[in-house]
Structure 1
Amino acid sequence: MKSITLGVLWAVTFIFAIGAAAPERRIFGGTDAFTGELPYQVSIQRAFLTARTHICGGTILNPLHVLTAASCFWTDSSSRFEIVAGNLRIDRPADTQQVLGIFWIRMHPGFTGGTSSFDVAVVRTSSAFFFTDLIRPVTLPPFDELPSGLVRVGGWGSTSNSILPGNNFADVLQKTNVLIVPWNECLSVLGGPGGPFDERNICTGPLSGGISTCTGDAGGGAVQHLGNDVFLQVGIITWNVLPCGGINTPSIYTRVSAFTDWIEANAAL
């Protein structure tokens, strides 16, 4: 198991898989989220002096833990990171936001970088979230349950058209609802067996294009809103085939239920 302990807040540079052609870098077809609509969503940000830069999304598991993608923390442990919750915007602070440091980062031992179906990590915060109407946790599915149906995804992904989009992120949290594509159909459009997409992944469409996650959204959740403040997380945004939002270029997620036991063991209070 690769674990990074942060005496202050150590962190990493986010490397995202790059596929083929030039992408449009944001949640395609998304709209601005409303206040409190995705209360589990956090922004993981690199901090330098008094400035912070968004690098990944994440979701709140409980008062002391965040679920995200291991790829957010793979290549560099020399940076300082903070987690921002309760704010739809990443370009300015809000009275409702909570900013927490990171105590440690634990990546799944199966993750070895790149596009991997083990792209999952648990982050322990240095202090506790105070839950409000704008800051709430997700729930996890039973181990190995296969998800289906509609999910909501959110993120601040980059809006650049370039193949190297940099840090040109959306200022306001974007959200969209998408359907989980049958697993065999995902496998077919992704080239069949032998690639990085396997039984520990799910994907969303539409395969007709126009809506997808993209760079900067990684680590965020694919979540089913069940009512009564129950937010069931079934996926972790991990990688995309480029161009984002293109025809037959689905959004790929780590299937949370494949790792429910590991997540719960590492997020125990």
Structure 2
Amino acid sequence: MLFQIALFCCFAAFPFSNAGNDDYVFEALLKAKPLFPQIKPPDVVKIDEEINPSKVELYEDLSHFLPSRGSSDCSFNKTDLKAGDYGTITTPNYPDNYPGGRSCQWYLESEEDTRIEVTVFDLFTQPWFFTYFDYVQFSTDGNFTNAERMSGDLNARTPFTIASQENKLGVRFRSSTLFNFRGLKLHYLVKPTDPAKLDEIRISSYDGVCGQSQLLFEDDETTQRPLLPGVVPELPILAPGRSTTPSAIRHVLGEATTHRGPAWLPPSLTVHIPVFGSVAEGQTNQESGNPKIIGPGQAPAGAFPWMAALLIDGRSFCGGSLIDNYHVLTAAHCTDGATKINVVLGTNNLKTPDEGRLLFNVTREGIFQHPKYNPSTVAYDIAVIRLPERVEFTEKVRPICLPNRYHNAETFQSQLVRVSGWGKPADKAVSVSPVLKNVTIAVMSNRQCRAIFRHIISGNNVCTATKTTVAPCRGDSGGPLIIRQQSPDGTPYYMQVGIVSFGGTSCERAYPVGYTRISAFIDYLSTITGKSI
């Protein structure tokens, strides 16, 4: 099915001759057209439908498999891995289509008393059709005599994690010369089998500075509203089909279920078909009188000190998040083609000057957009902005924590998360909100999200449910999706798990919202920022 994606840009000119004037920048921010890719949902929603046929089975003999020769991008053996070692495996040309006629093998072996975990973020090969033309195979003991073979589009299940039985693990990939698809992307991590040793080497995302907010003392189980059933989109509905997950991989992909709705909803709730998730309306401002991020939550001053407002080429508006002294994280669709970005930090209200707010002018040289960003599918929608000067942290300006390699296997499904931004308060609003807003929503499964966004969704994305009055909207693009965490010493902090990326054709019809999953891109972030994550 084809998708219609519109980037709501504005081409009204705002000359940069006055860009050094703070008042001009803030006036331009309020006039700028907010960005937000919007994907046209299908006319009929099929719950749990496989986009392309996929098949998984236990295969007993692949003695005929011969890795392609002379291709370093296709195979390797790593036999000296240590606890904490981390890496990425992708099929040739990923995320572009892999070439035909390739046989690749990656063999991993780590030191004794460790095991290897691989988290698959994307798996899309030629579908099974009476036989396997293309496939990916996983061996949890390094011996391919009995190994799981997978083909087709498995991204209704990604990200999923496979662990080695001991300290050896193998991955194989084969492509035919008939049809070519995107292929495979995974991250591997070596962990000690002894939980005590794992605790010793595990790196906390909290560095003593990041992710601190006054909301941490309010945002707990005693103050959150209970989960509410999600709102049914106004679409024709077909009943779900039966899942055919083979028993051979239930330990990897989970038991098959015919539950008519998100399996992660609390069992005490009545589930209506289809329910695309649930939301919890977070901190609200009853005096605002605005029922419509869209949403009710006006952010208290200083509650989100990592928030950045971006004026792109004087005409477009996006959000972002400060991640260290020099870098702001945002979406690639915000920076695509940009030559200059004004970055504002340390403010809640774009109309009223805040003491301590900061303004930076970033040129093309400071914009690091992911080189594989695809505007047609909104894939790899991530970018980093390097500030020209060092940011000194204050109570109003501090970074958000980021996930690291030890968060690879976490899907965050069904957990409560917050999203904040200055986006439009309603579909028909003429401009962004001058006041920073926030809502608390819940992470939904990628399988449920694909009922709306279809092949756009992979493990590189995370999705949240919304309500007609609680949702990110145009202008919230690039902003952070955050979750409450706790450091080993018990200190609470917020960690960013997603970047606002795209939504449905309306912000007020309870369509899910898609985000770039941060944990799928920690290798990219390490490369740009120079920090080991």
Q: Taking structure 1 as the reference length, what is the TM-score of the superposition?
A: 0.81
1:14 and 1:72 in contact (8 A); partners too: no
CA distance in 2, matches of 1:201, 1:35: 30
Q: Which residue of structure 2 lines up, in the alignment, with residue 251 of structure 1?
A: 513
Bigger proportion of residues as helix: 2
AA matched with 1:88: N
Q: Which residue of structure 2 lines up, in the alignment, with residue 111 of structure 1?
A: 373
Distance 1:176 1:14, change over 3 A: closer
1:5-154 alignment to 2 at 5 Å? 15-20=35-40, 27-46=293-312, 55-77=317-339, 80-102=340-362, 104-143=366-405, 144-148=408-412, 149-154=415-420
CA distance in 2, matches of 1:181, 1:209: 16
In structure 2, the residue corresponding to 1:258 is in which secondary structure?
helix
Q: Which residue of structure 2 lines up, in the alignment, with residue 176 of structure 1?
A: 439
AA matched with 2:425: T
Q: Which residue of structure 2 lines up, in the alignment, with residue 158 of structure 1?
A: 424
CA distance in 2, matches of 1:160, 1:212: 10
- Aligned residue pairs total 242
- Report how far residue 107 of structure 1 moved: 0.8
CA distance in 2, matches of 1:14, 1:265: 29
The percentage of counterpart residues that share the same residue type is 26
2:422 and 2:433 in contact (8 A); partners too: yes
Distance 1:161 1:138, change over 3 A: closer
Q: Which residue of structure 2 lines up, in the alignment, with residue 212 of structure 1?
A: 471
- Report how far residue 147 of structure 1 moved: 3.2
Distance 1:115 1:43, change over 3 A: farther
1:106 and 1:122 in contact (8 A); partners too: yes
- Report how far residue 66 of structure 1 moved: 0.5
AA matched with 2:352: R
In structure 1, the residue corresponding to 2:425 is in which secondary structure?
coil
AA matched with 1:37: A
CA distance in 1, matches of 2:495, 2:529: 16
1:126-149 CA deviation, whole Å, 9 max, x = no partner?
Answer: 111110111111122134343311
2:333 and 2:381 in contact (8 A); partners too: yes
CA distance in 2, matches of 1:71, 1:14: 12
CA distance in 2, matches of 1:260, 1:239: 21
1:45-99 CA deviation, whole Å, 9 max, x = no partner?
Answer: 2476xxxx7711001110000100010011343xx32111110011232112111
More relative contact order in 1 or in 2 (CA 8 Å, sep 6+)? 1
CA distance in 1, matches of 2:359, 2:458: 35
- Report how far residue 15 of structure 1 moved: 4.8
Distance 1:17 1:211, change over 3 A: same
In structure 2, the residue corresponding to 1:263 is in which secondary structure?
helix
- Report how far residue 202 of structure 1 moved: 0.8
Bigger proportion of residues as strand: 1
2:426 and 2:473 in contact (8 A); partners too: no
Return 5+ residue gaps in structure 2 as ranges: 1-18, 21-31, 42-291
AA matched with 1:95: E
1:201 to 458, 461, 465: 461
In structure 2, the residue corresponding to 1:32 is in which secondary structure?
coil
- Report how far residue 160 of structure 1 moved: 5.1
1:71 and 1:114 in contact (8 A); partners too: no
AA matched with 1:16: F
1:213 and 1:244 in contact (8 A); partners too: yes
CA distance in 1, matches of 2:297, 2:404: 31
Distance 1:188 1:46, change over 3 A: closer
- Report how far residue 237 of structure 1 moved: 0.2
